[in-house]
Amino acid sequence: MTMRVQMPHLLARAGTVSALTLITLGGPAPAPGMAAEPSLASVSAKALQIAASKEGSPYKWGAQGPDSFDCSGLTRYSYRRAGRTLPRTAAAQYRHTEHVSRSSRKDGDLVFFHSGSGVYHVGIYAGDDRIWHAPKAGTVVRLERIWSRSVWYGRVP
């Protein structure tokens, strides 16, 4: 059965907004009245969208939102709003994630900047070698190109 044939049935069952969300995120249609566990892809897509919505918010050391952030505060806030819990620091977040290679990274994965074995910064991968992050004091949440080769990638379970 093609998507075109299923679409009227989805609209009738799930409602127009829900069906459009399902199409956009690519998730399965839940039965009416049933809560579906968000797929990993939809959680990471939502976290990425939440991070992007915080563009221009000021950096503040130790801040976890909703109006200001440090780097790990932004990732933690974004994923918490998307339905997943992350530890507080960038290093602890790295230990919490499923480590993935550069070639396997996907939008919404976390990007960890490291020096030797120590993680010192984190952002959310936005595709095309860019991340959403809260860079440092005196700056704001912004989209920026990855500037270093010393990065690791992690997928939030």
For the segment 119-148, what is each residue's pLDDT rounded down to a tens digit?
999 999 999 999 999 999 999 999 999 999
Within 13 Å, how many C-alpha atoms sit on residue 24's CB side? 11
Cα(79)–Cα(123) distance, integer angstroms: 12
Q: Which listed residue (9, 71, 99, 114) is catalytic? A: 71
> 145 and 85 in contact (C-beta within 8 Å)?
no
Residue 98 in tokens: 């499923």
| pLDDT < 70 regions, the chain | 1-41
Q: Is 121 a catalytic residue?
A: yes
| pLDDT computed for residue 40 by the predictor | 64
Q: Is 96 a catalytic residue?
A: no
| pLDDT computed for residue 36 by the predictor | 46
pTM for the whole structure: 0.75
> 93 and 47 in contact (C-beta within 8 Å)?
no
| pLDDT computed for residue 18 by the predictor | 35
| pLDDT computed for residue 84 by the predictor | 97
What is the average pLDDT score of the chain? 82
Q: Is 9 a catalytic residue?
A: no
Cα(72)–Cα(55) distance, integer angstroms: 15
